[in-house]
Amino acid sequence: MEKLYEIPIYWFKYKEDYISKDDERYDVEMPGFVVEDLEKYIPVAVDHLDGKPEKWNSLIIIPIMFQMIKNEHERNDKLQSEINELKTMIKQLTER
């Protein structure tokens, strides 16, 4: 899971022929992935067309992202617990 944090996020504009000019996202910078980057780190999450990476599959990417968020939440909880312990120790030491 840790290697997934290395996947770069890019800002891009959709190609003219990819979305309609009437789409609110037309000619607007959007955050996203380069599908070849995802294929390098999570090949199962990439859909292929004629053997070439075409797009990433949200049915796979979203659960992975959710697990990453849960991992970070757990780390934050542990750190907060350590901070609280250190605060208690500092308070005890300053009271002496």
Domain that holds residue 57: 2-95
Give me the DSSP letters along 14-60. --TTTS-TTSTTTT--EEE--HHHHHHH-GGGEEEETTEEEEE-HHH
pLDDT tens string 74-94: 999 999 999 999 999 999 999
pLDDT tens string 17-32: 888 889 999 999 999 9
Task: Categorize the per-residue pLDDT at 48 as very low, low, confident or very high, splitting at 50, 70 and 90.
Answer: very high
Domains: count for the chain:
1
